[in-house]
Structure 1
């Protein structure tokens, strides 16, 4: 299937962002040169070191909630943009295909696949895509520019009224900066063809009116025998005005990427020597994607403590993804002639429109201090989505193709009451409605309309602090939406057999008991015991174009997070999590949830401001998981080490060395167990299929401030 050229409007949008970003950087450079100088002729500059976390006692509503600041993001290396989410305690981010595809996310006993049950936003824009060609809630963070991130606000569990679809396991709002202290350019060169250039700056174009621009160019081949050939273009332009009390911002963003992927391969072929760890069984796998958006927000904070915020956005999104996970199954199993192989294409074209508004105010309730917030969230997706059989990216058959209209409306309210100086409670209620309209272009029997609604109560009780220690009790209901096509389907798109329709919204119920303490000077520690139950593990399988029903599930676990500063120049982070994940009910197949990782951990040492030097060393552990329900097959655990060493060169330059997988361990990013038949193999056999983690990888970055 040939790659469609980008519409002229999208090309214009990118060039506009690129030109404006470059102009903004240049303007900011001139502005910096105009700054007052000292008697020695040097530009006067004040350095301010920000805090790594805003998680102090008294700042959160749950032990598993917090804020990560940009200072910490700068201290550790990230192999891919999506790994910014690994700063969320207990989260592990991997990849099972090309670097232009959304990552795999693991949290609280979930293989979140590409984002289901973890809601993410960037610069006020939602990332998760419902009714997506590849997977429900698909969350592609490859358009993220880490250098622009100001903070990451994360929450785990369904306890927060403002969080709706896909947030049952948690959520993260990644906020971009609106101004930069100085414009900069950073060039990164690495092994295996890695090249990245990012430049950004901001300038005041009028009193209380600032313009920020950023441009990123990247290419990478990776360790794969078939070079990945990743090419990425990325641009951001933001105009902001006013102040924190009252102001606005408007952003234009554009991202474009294409790549060749090496998907997971059978472990027995690697063990026998027939296949190298980084070899491909289909060199035409890969894809292309594009995301353009315009967004704006307005806010006002009154002297009486009230706060109002309104935002709106529009997104244009494209994806073409070519995959082959089973290689050459017999025609009796996949319905395709053996000569064709098993490659398939998933295509997604959509426009997304959204609006959000909230208002909060202080008042008294039964004579007690209280604060109430109301909010409204509206999102509408207009989607053209399809699944096609392909050979070398050329379409040979349509499995299904649909036009979908999906509208989600959520309203919420919550009230926080200070019961005593040492006790406060938060009570909230959220109401969501989803409407689905499916026009099947391949089988009229799968067309139709459906709707669903759900009420989600929330409750939190915060006690303390006593001796710089506070206790939390949280409970709530959350949900994720199912793929719209499953809500109207009557027949399986491949077999033609009758299928049951699925509910539009699937509920989850969660509880958590937590404690956070700063009793020991320099140490902040939190402990959370949590449980999350789902009504059903219904999953849309993009490879088959159908929704698969599964049993109810229950997950419970423990998280222990620590931040320790024994001396001013050393930060120690230690995050450990254990999870018990099981299906409900009796089934002879077993009760294990495939790919539910039982243990994860991260320990990092960060050395700060040792003269011109700084460094960090991180150990990252992804535990074993059952790959089938009876636990007879399990994935192998992995432990990797990443290193960053940086040195300032004067006041305007810095050089950084990043080393990923420092000890060159042969570990896997992901592992599955299923049937496949590589070409030339006579029999179909179930086997472990793995996507290896990258070997030791070095990258060097030179960053220059103007």
Structure 2
């Protein structure tokens, strides 16, 4: 009884102490666009209190004694700003702050436990320093990620990361503004991800994470995920013209539709468009055409709710020279840039609508809702084996589909305290529905005659998911992130080659836990341990064939690493990683057959370094090693074909106050096995690129050079069995697509 009385007396004495305390509520904006800035670090100097702005650029400090305070704001690529405020008893002070863009100063970057950086800090530095040359360059922002084109400029690139030949996206989750890019049960390959509908100049940021460690990332998140964020507003309208070798032309424009009057009303809208043409460097002209149109609106519905609407449409058509066998080039039958079947090529289109709202309630709940819809068409003609199967007509195939994709992403989160521990709890729901019409694989001739249909049908695939994520700030040094995700799939396939047509279905679910630890010793050193389970789904045609068994193969991963600033102007990120994948069944779209994949294990080391050498000169280097192995095969025959084992990228970037910017870069992929016993090798390459830009008040002139030293290199390589027209027997050897030779392009941009 006495203890209860003491507690009551203590509580009563504390009430008047808190009753007279004040508070500070603030909003931070980009001074150029008046858009709210998220993730700005706000420090109340001398108190040890730190906050970060939310999706509306808001922050708040409560229970402040009446006094004068210095509030310090910092955000990557914005000028630091300090403001002195006077807090009074029983008053809530409201502070609006604009931050202006500036050159990146790595010396000002600190490592904080408030929001664990991991790779995100590296990403933020890179996107501000490196000029983006084209849409495929965007993926190269991810340290250790390589891409290769092997069927003309319109087909999605082949992706390599962390000991994976990811094909076109099977084990990496790609999104744009949260809208999925990967196509499930695609005519060409599972997870096919074509980013060419993104206009490079409209990209604001590249967020990524390696490994399956985030609860809000689901299907295909095994090697990692990448989310491209497009601009919410244009600082200036612009028109840009480009011209280069090989009949290469490009025009792009971005128009601010509302101007300053719109910004005064917290509204922004713009329209952007792009047209590209190139015959490329192949002996047979590529006749590549691409058109992109994009519009975006971002504005406040209320003081606490923002609405973002994005619409875009994209169309592309091209001819391709395809992959050529070593023997054809080495015998002089064709040149290095020649073709065996010059009738390859294709066309594709995608139209998107994306609507997003974000609301911050009076009780500090953050509610996000997103709905999206895409209509997608795809047609691709390829010939990998030439005359192996059909000595008369050749082996050309057509892969075709028409798709309607729709879905929803939603979440509700809140920050709260339990004693001195701060929690952020997020509950999310996601839904995706794909209707794929007349998806097929057929034997064709000269892109106009169907000789035989191998596969032909309709797909209905649904994926629904729930997830719970807890971000726990245990102390000012220790942060813990725990998550749990559940995904449910329902797959239906109607075989239209059967008479009458036959529909089969199957369903399955998977639970994916995540647990991550971040310990920040000081503003210069943070250790992290990431663990988690992920998965990639399999093609519906595999799922129904397996009656739903083993159709969601799990992946278990872990990263142990650090983020450190060994010197004031250097940031280093290093990690040891491991990934184990369960049995899977793979649908080979080029052959229309199912192959067992087996269990695999990958482990390696990643190292990223960013260094500011001088005020305007920056250096970067990324090193990645991997040891990928099949666990069901004997040693010596357990290599994973085409999986990279060592890669490195790096370069120098220049950002001068007089408007001169640029970069010189390299990328290196070491030799790697092309088959499971390493008896056939995919030869490595080392290629350099250069880019320079000079900006005046209204004009920017640029020069871009790919393959600066005109290196002869093979961009993609496959160990394939094929037969040429006059060969009696087939031959198995490397088939390759030649890499870009020296390629120069100039550009002129006008700002208004």
Give the drift of 1:442. 1.3
Where does residue 365 of structure 2 map in the other structure? 306
Alpha-carbon distance change, 511 to 551 in structure 1, aligned in 2, over 3 angstroms:
same
Aligned partners of 1:523 and 1:350: how far apart in 2? 47
User: 2:126·2:141 contact (CA, 8 Å) conserved in 1?
Assistant: no
Aligned partners of 1:68 and 1:614: how far apart in 2? 19
Q: Kindly indicate whether residue 645 of structure 2 is the aligned counterpart of residue 645 of structure 1.
A: no
Q: How do 1:650-661 residues align onto structure 2 when only pairs under 5 Å count? A: 650-661=696-707
Give the alignment's Cα RMSD to 1 decimal: 2.1
Partner SS, residue 135 of structure 1 = coil
Q: Kindly indicate whether residue 575 of structure 2 is the aligned counterpart of residue 575 of structure 1.
A: no
Where does residue 453 of structure 2 map in the other structure? 398
Larger displacement relative to structure 2 (543-552 or 157-166): 543-552
Where does residue 488 of structure 1 map in the other structure? 544
Selected match of 1:677 from 720, 723, 732:
723
Q: Kindly indicate whether residue 404 of structure 2 is the aligned counterpart of residue 351 of structure 1.
A: yes
Where does residue 317 of structure 1 map in the other structure? 376
User: 2:395·2:443 contact (CA, 8 Å) conserved in 1?
Assistant: yes
Partner SS, residue 505 of structure 1 = coil
User: 2:541·2:587 contact (CA, 8 Å) conserved in 1?
Assistant: no
Q: Kindly indicate whether residue 510 of structure 2 is the aligned counterpart of residue 454 of structure 1.
A: yes
User: 1:60·1:66 contact (CA, 8 Å) conserved in 2?
Assistant: no
Where does residue 227 of structure 1 map in the other structure? 285
Where does residue 662 of structure 2 map in the other structure? 615
Partner SS, residue 85 of structure 1 = helix
Where does residue 42 of structure 1 map in the other structure? none
Give the drift of 1:208. 2.4
Q: Kindly indicate whether residue 471 of structure 2 is the aligned counterpart of residue 413 of structure 1.
A: no
Give the drift of 1:420. 2.0
Aligned length: 644
Where does residue 376 of structure 1 map in the other structure? 429
Aligned partners of 2:229 and 2:318: how far apart in 1? 28
Selected match of 1:440 from 495, 511, 515:
495
Partner SS, residue 328 of structure 2 = helix
Aligned partners of 2:597 and 2:495: how far apart in 1? 25
Give the drift of 1:504. 2.7
Aligned partners of 2:147 and 2:601: how far apart in 1? 22
Where does residue 339 of structure 2 map in the other structure? 280
User: 1:467·1:519 contact (CA, 8 Å) conserved in 2?
Assistant: no
Aligned partners of 1:562 and 1:446: how far apart in 2? 56
Deviation per CA, 1:545-597: give whole Å up to 9, x if none: 12211210000010000110122111111111000000002348810000111
TM-score, length of structure 1 as denominator length: 0.88
Q: Kindly indicate whether residue 644 of structure 2 is the aligned counterpart of residue 601 of structure 1.
A: no
Partner SS, residue 585 of structure 1 = coil
Alpha-carbon distance change, 416 to 546 in structure 1, aligned in 2, over 3 angstroms:
same
Q: How do 1:114-193 residues align onto structure 2 when only pairs under 5 Å count? A: 114-193=168-247
Q: Kindly indicate whether residue 485 of structure 2 is the aligned counterpart of residue 430 of structure 1.
A: yes
Q: Kindly indicate whether residue 556 of structure 2 is the aligned counterpart of residue 503 of structure 1.
A: no
Aligned partners of 1:55 and 1:345: how far apart in 2? 52
User: 1:64·1:528 contact (CA, 8 Å) conserved in 2?
Assistant: no
**Structure 1, unaligned runs of 5 or more:** 1-45, 491-499
Aligned partners of 1:569 and 1:52: how far apart in 2? 9
Q: Kindly indicate whether residue 442 of structure 2 is the aligned counterpart of residue 388 of structure 1.
A: yes
Give the drift of 1:83. 1.9
User: 1:77·1:658 contact (CA, 8 Å) conserved in 2?
Assistant: no
User: 2:391·2:725 contact (CA, 8 Å) conserved in 1?
Assistant: no
Where does residue 546 of structure 1 map in the other structure? 593
Where does residue 92 of structure 2 map in the other structure? none
Partner SS, residue 181 of structure 1 = coil
Partner SS, residue 392 of structure 2 = helix
Give the drift of 1:127. 0.4
Larger Rg: 2
Give the drift of 1:52. 9.2
Q: RCO greater where, 1 or 2, for CA within 8 Å and sep 6 or more?
A: 1
Aligned partners of 2:670 and 2:190: how far apart in 1? 25
Give the drift of 1:245. 5.0
Where does residue 690 of structure 1 map in the other structure? 736
User: 1:597·1:623 contact (CA, 8 Å) conserved in 2?
Assistant: yes
Selected match of 1:515 from 556, 562, 572:
562
Aligned partners of 2:198 and 2:420: how far apart in 1? 46
Alpha-carbon distance change, 446 to 392 in structure 1, aligned in 2, over 3 angstroms:
same
Partner SS, residue 664 of structure 2 = strand
Alpha-carbon distance change, 557 to 258 in structure 1, aligned in 2, over 3 angstroms:
same
